[in-house]
Amino acid sequence: MNPIERADRIVYLDVLRGFALCGILFVNMPSFLGERFTSEMGTADQVLRLLFDLFIQTKFYTLFSVLFGAGFILFINRLRVKRKSLWIFVRRLMALFLFGVIHLLFWRGDILQTYALCGLMLLAFVHTRPATKLWIGLALQLYVFFRYLSIYQYAQSVGDRSIPDPDTTLQSIVAARNVMEFVTYHATVQLPHGLNNSLAIWPEILSLFLIGAYLMERFTIRPPATRTIGLVFGVSLLFSLPLLYPIVQIHQGRVPDGLINYFFVWLSGRTLAVAYAAGVALLVRSGHPLIGFQVLGRMALTNYLTHTLVFTLVLFVTGRYGSIPLWQGTLLVIVILVVQILFSSWYLKRYRQGPVETFWRTVTYGGKKSRNT
């Protein structure tokens, strides 16, 4: 058996999904704690902010989106083998959308409802050739590139500005530890913002879905050689270096968290995501089990939603929003991930999938498919 596969799961996808989940938690943590201007942070936090922009920001939602596209192909193929209707996938997406809407009641950064909406668009490509998916995905990526380039040029011409938007209203709600007002505020303000954000970013997410779908179809037929993966890893790292250097320079200037910085952060996210995916593939191919990432990936949805639960509890216990240092948040992220690895490993020895995944499967297929032992 190929060392990258085991039973009915593709180990590499689980490992990469778990790896991406770790990065996403680091990315989301500053938003959980409350956005702040980089210029107002302490030295340790400014260094962390730079490291996040260099190696984490935009890199991991790219991986996760490509993985969703790959998972789409796997799911559709299984439906075809079992001669099941595509409506099962529609039900799966509608359940995901509801998860996302509920999630928006506690945190504005949810991506699940965006994935669900873009997943419905992906259904239009079920019967297209792999090459069609690739070219449309690349065309959408090119569109998104020019959109970010226009923002970059605008900031260059009229002056840059900081992106973070500290939320003083939410800060006062958390300080008062008013849970009902917290949920009401998210329902009336943050939920519409999240849905509007989906309308803005859908071309990018759909493009990554299509690229992931292409890669799954392409490599299912003919997996890439280890030498090819190594070449991709090296080339993507080489292309990343000239994109990372401007980020370091910008962080030494007046607007380290502005639109110009984000252009290079986004652009480097394309190349470094490829390097990360190739690097993980090389490790898996060489026999490294990466069990920690693997178990996180198998319970990705459960662990993702748990992140919001933990940080919401932290906010209400401390009463602090927008004032917890980034370095403290980073330590908390490490603790959360260690605990989740241990819990996921323990849980998966007893059950086939995580509790939220089981519920999602039940909604998708019905009670007959809900067994989790």
Backbone angles phi, psi at 258, to 5 degrees: -100, -170
Tokens of 101: 């809407």
DSSP string, 50-103: HHHHHHTTTHHHHHHHHHHHHHHHHHHHHHHHTT--THHHHHHHHHHHHHHHHH
Cα–Cα separations (whole angstroms), residue 307 to 25, 234, 277, 315, 320 = 7, 33, 23, 12, 17
Long-range contacts of 217-223 (CB under 8 A, 24+ apart): 217/73, 217/130, 217/133, 218/130, 220/73, 223/2, 223/4
- Burial of residue 212 (CB within 10 Å: 0-12, 13-18, 19+) is buried
Q: What is the pLDDT along the chain (373 residues), one digit of tens a residue?
A: 343 444 446 899 999 999 999 999 999 999 999 999 999 999 999 999 999 999 999 999 999 999 999 999 999 999 999 999 999 999 999 999 999 999 999 999 999 999 999 999 999 999 999 999 999 999 999 999 999 999 999 999 999 999 999 999 999 999 999 999 999 999 999 999 999 999 999 999 999 999 999 999 999 888 899 999 999 999 999 999 999 999 999 999 989 999 999 999 999 999 999 999 999 999 999 998 899 999 999 999 999 999 999 999 999 999 999 999 999 999 999 999 999 999 999 999 999 999 999 999 999 998 655 556 5
Q: Is 10 helix (H, G, I), strand (E, B) or coil?
A: strand
Q: Is 256 helix (H, G, I), strand (E, B) or coil?
A: coil
Place of tokens 């490992």: 15
DSSP string, 260-317: HHHHHHHHHHHHHHHHHHHHHHHHHHTT---HHHHHHHHTHHHHHHHHHHHHHHHHHH
Cα–Cα separations (whole angstroms), residue 217 to 69, 122, 230 = 10, 14, 21
- What does the domain layout of the chain look like in residue ranges? 5-223+240-369
